[in-house]
A and B are shown apart, each in its own frame.
Chain A
Amino acid sequence: MSSTELSAPHLKQPRTVAEPIAWLRRNLFSSWFNSLLTLVLLWLIASLLLRVLDWLFTQATWTPVVANIRLFWIGRYPPDQLWRVQLCLGLVLGLFGVSAGIWGGIVRAVATGLMGLMVLLIIPPFDAGMRLYFAGLALLIAAMYFGGLRSGRSLRWPVTGLWIASPLIVLVLIRGFSGSATLPPVETNLWGGLMLTLLLAVVGILASFPLGILLALGRRSRLPVVKAFCVAYIEIIRGVPLISVLFMAMIMLPLFLPPTVRVDTIVRVMVAITLFSAAYLAENVRGGLQAVPNGQIEAARALGLNIFQSTLLIVLPQALRAVIPAIVGQFISLFKDTSLVFIVGMIDLLGIADAIIHQQAWLTVTGGVQREVLLFTAFIYWTFCFTMARVARSIETRLGVGTR
């Protein structure tokens, strides 16, 4: 390409024809070896794809997935209370939309990702109501975005307040009160499916955040006792598998507390996930802390800020900003790791899949329904993780441009 342009710069090339052929030659047939590789791979892909498509559309039994779609989303949560979960999702997504409008930047990247996710969720063959709901959520994000864009700064504080209150609102809405008619209590053992997976991941990342920051600061502390404790905690937790921490929480947490205190299973799991995630988060935050130049701290001290002020107002904001992509990455791996709660007997997304596989109705299906159900489960996990990974990448480029 460039060589022909160099030799005859005044001639216009007929790009419409030459471009695709040149692309093919450069990318697929650049040498005899590459050509051979291309042909063999094409043949392999074609034969594999045909078989997979044939299985997907003619042989696979998708009825277990379609018939149990509610179980996938909310587990054994009472169906007549579904509106509460839907309301929570609407609230959080709406908040993301309006915040994207107000603040733009990173939040907009996240909101765009969430909107893409909603559009992706319209694709699988759910019932019409479900698809309409996801389409509605996508529209809600867009509408709130433009609302936030228009109102601008005036909504900053109310929205911040709503964000801070939102975990509590969500938990109250989903848990309910005893004796309430509109919000009857729903026991935690009925929570399940994707809802439980998301709750565990979000609670895990939120609760481990303050702990992780404290551990990271402690690891850089000049007080040897504090430093030793933090290093020991971080290295021990990072050296053992999550499943052993989960088992410890399930078996030993009741043992370590007075017999009068009864801890709900879901709380035990949340404690385990938080303690585990905090160690990894601490290492991410430490990376950010190391990236803050010493001059910043010295300047803060010179301005008369004490150590707490300089840490809270000068060091942490810069450190956390730098590690946002790493924290999103941590959230992705936490989201995937929540599937381990299935081993300790909870019915999260994977637990539901396992329950559906063993339903009476599908025992007669020749070949079983394991492949279909597990592939669908994997697809849901993949959709979420892939979207988050995309968001992390876009934040990364945004931050990179900002700092340069």
Chain B
Amino acid sequence: MARATLSANDHRPVPFYRDVKILAILAQVAFVILIGFVFWFLYSNAAAGLRRSRIPGGFDFLWLTAGFPISEGIAFQPTDSYARAFVVGIVNTLRVSVIGIVLATLLGTLIGIGRLSTNWLVRSICTSYVEVIRNTPLLVQLIFWYVAVILKLPRVRDSLGINGLIFVSNRGLTVAWPQATPSFGAWRPWLLVALIAGIAVYLWRQRQLARQDRPGAKLSLGLLVAVITAAVGALVVFAVAGGAPLTLNRPVLQGFNYRGGATLTPEFFALLLGLTIYTAAFIAEVVRGGLQAVNRGQREAARALALSPAQTLRLVIFPQAMRVIIPPLTNQYLNLTKNSSLGIAVGFFDLFNISNTIFNQSGRSVQVIAMVMASYLTVSLITSAIMNVYNYRIRLIER
């Protein structure tokens, strides 16, 4: 830039090898050529290698019969295609990630608040938790939960838990689960009405509270209305059709395993436990950092306005801390999702594990790895997009 003004003064043209603009273009061209050469080198080797091993390119193999069973998630037969197996993997990864994110957020928030407790014992327990969990590899923890805890639980015959409701054994966690009866169809419109009523009450409260500019219950009120409507509906259906729309399907020991109820496989259980406990330690640190970032004066002012400690935390501290918490929290959510790929170590049928089997059977290394990476990238991008929207909505609006 400086050279351009100098040259304008003495009217001598700048030689091209000293012109910053031309140099920048030259440098980029050189960079492109270098990168292009590296990629061409890798590509030509890969192409030659694939030709030698006679593995066809393209994604046609996805429609071939998979031939292996998957005992986790949505229905899958060995006669189904590779494509369906891949979808099962994505669904399983999402299932464990979403449940893990919810549980880890709850546990992590509790521990993060606990680290700032006035009670020394609570503080020390939470600090020890964070220091122990954060400084051990997740993989070691996962294998420990699976091999040394869950597989060591009593056999199905002597399982622990509340009789008829919850059973914990080395075959996983089995709980009684509601099941639809023939009269469920009559209840369905009531459920729809309950949902609409709940949302309507929520929105109405939101507008009312915003007009009065004061805090108050809106979500809990909406939920209450929805639940009452649904319950009234169930009673009416019971009176008219003579049968409750839902029954509790209790697990019954039959042979070597339980029938009925809902079961969490030992693999899912171990992975969920490991991911939740590990990520909660990191979320606790994020939450603690966010709470500490809120100005002390805010807490003192809230107490001076006679808010209780719980109200201070809920209405004054947390909303402000959220702005600090959200970006690192997003990172933790992404880490949890990516870490769910370690499920392969405990035999959980997640996206990565199933893709590995597909690759071993079909030999399409390049295609399978590309699909795996693209899937994780998509999930990462969607998660950050959702969190960014949330972050935008809770941003500080200056008056």
Contact = CB atoms under 8 A, between A and B. Distances in A.
A27 interface: yes
B299 interface: no
A382 B136 contact: yes
Interface string A227-248: 0010000001001111110011
Contacts of B119: 27-28, 30, 34, 37-38
B377 A239 contact: yes
What's the interface size class on B, roughly?
Answer: 35 or more
A381 B136 CA distance: 6
A241 B338 contact: yes
A357 B140 CA distance: 13
Contacts of A116: none
B176 interface: no
Interface in B110-158: 118-122, 125, 131-132, 134-141, 143-144, 147-148, 152
Main secondary structure of the interface of A (DSSP, over half): helix
B357 interface: no
A244 B372 contact: yes
Interface stretch (B235-243, B317-325, B340-348): B340-348
Contacts of A394: none
A224 B365 CA distance: 32
Interface in A208-267: 222-226, 229, 236, 239-244, 247-248, 251-252, 254-259
A255 B46 contact: yes
Given A28-B119, A229-B35, A239 B381 contact: yes
A241 B341 contact: yes
Interface residues of A, number: 56
Given A343-B345, A370-B147, A374-B143, A259 B49 contact: yes
Interface string B340-384: 011011000000100010010000011001001100110011000
A374 B140 contact: yes
Contact of B148 (A27, A337, A374): A374
Given A229-B31, A337-B137, A375-B144, A243 B46 contact: no
B32 interface: yes
A377 B137 CA distance: 10
Contacts of A156: none
A340 B339 CA distance: 11
A241 B97 CA distance: 14
B121 A336 contact: no
B42 interface: yes
A371 interface: yes
Nearest to B342: A243
B143 A350 contact: yes
Contacts of B366: 252, 255
A41 B122 contact: yes
Interface string A17-51: 00000000001101000100110011001000000
Nearest to A229: B35
Interface string A185-226: 000000000000000000000000000000000000011111
Contacts of A337: 137
B45 interface: yes
Contacts of A255: 45-46, 49-50, 365-366
B135 A386 contact: yes
Contact of B144 (A27, A374, A386): A374
A86 B121 CA distance: 42
Given A255-B50, A382-B135, A34 B118 contact: yes
B31 A378 contact: no
Given A27-B118, A378-B141, A244 B376 contact: yes
Contact of B377 (A223, A236, A343, A357): A236
Nearest to B334: A239
B369 A37 contact: no
Contacts of B139: 339-340, 342-343, 350
B28 A381 contact: no
A389 B50 CA distance: 46
A28 B352 contact: no
A9 to B, nearest CB: 26
A132 B262 CA distance: 56
Contacts of A378: 136-137, 140-141, 144
Given A236-B373, A236-B377, A339 B137 contact: yes
Given A339-B140, A378-B140, A251 B369 contact: yes
9 contacts: A225-B32, A226-B28, A247-B356, A252-B46, A255-B50, A256-B46, A377-B140, A386-B135, A389-B134
Interface of A: 27-28, 30, 34, 37-38, 41-42, 45, 222-226, 229, 236, 239-244, 247-248, 251-252, 254-259, 332, 336-337, 339-340, 342-343, 350, 353-354, 357, 367-368, 370-371, 374-375, 377-378, 381-382, 385-386, 389
Given A255-B46, A350-B140, A368-B152, 14 more contacts: A27-B120, A222-B24, A229-B31, A243-B344, A244-B352, A256-B42, A257-B45, A343-B139, A343-B344, A353-B140, A385-B135, A385-B136, A386-B135, A389-B131
